[in-house]
Amino acid sequence: MAPLKVEQYVVGPVQTNCYFAINDDTKEVLVIDPGASADQLAKKIRQEKLTPIAILLTHGHFDHAGGAEELAKHFDIKIYAEEHEKETLDTPSLNLSGWEGVQKTYHADVFLKNEQEIDLAGFHIRVFHTPGHTVGGCCYYFPYQNVVFSGDTLFCTSVGRTDFPKGSAAQIIRSIKEKLLPLPDETTVYTGHNDITTIGTERMYNPYL
């Protein structure tokens, strides 16, 4: 089992959690949700002598995807997202890039399917399609390391906003209950904003569930 080290970097105007999922044996790294500060993240990768393998997007909002293309160009790596999120990435009114004053489109190179299993940087990863915050939001579950990167689907004692275009309160609750709550209690949840948590904590204390 590959040893996982997670580093958290808070980036951008709405304090997004960007994560480095590092294989501590090989120093390969997956970058999750680089929403901004691509140059600084690239500098950190080089300082730590890490080898970036891929960028994983939990969804296509500007605060999670905004720095992905620039960071990918630094290292010639691919960007991954869930297959239903292409429209969000492609459409400024859906990716909310206008919040920063400029309408932008984003892209991914690889589109993943619900329950697809992939192997990257020595990690076995299961992809959960978790619509509600966006139509193609997803979570990345590392079963052998007992962690899940939940993006803006599940937060510490909260859930993601559903008042954005194509959001759905009913869908996000269903996504969490069907895809995330069945995970082991001890699973660490690395959220898209604010504090990390565990599945057991959310099952017991989250007032939305």
pLDDT, averaged across the chain:
98
Report whether pLDDT(55) > 90.
Answer: yes
Mean per-residue pLDDT, 13-31: 98
Q: 4-205 — its CATH code?
A: 3.60.15.10
Mean per-residue pLDDT, 92-104: 93
d(CA 133, CA 135): 7
Report whether pLDDT(101) > 90.
Answer: no
Strands 123-129 and 117-120 come out as antiparallel
Cβ(185)–Cβ(198) below 8 Å? yes
Cβ(39)–Cβ(70) below 8 Å? yes
d(CA 25, CA 176): 32
Q: Where are the beta strands (DSSP E) in 57-176?
A: 78-82, 110-112, 117-120, 123-129, 138-142, 147-151, 154-155, 158-159
**pTM attached to this predicted model:** 0.98
The pLDDT of residue 100 is: 81
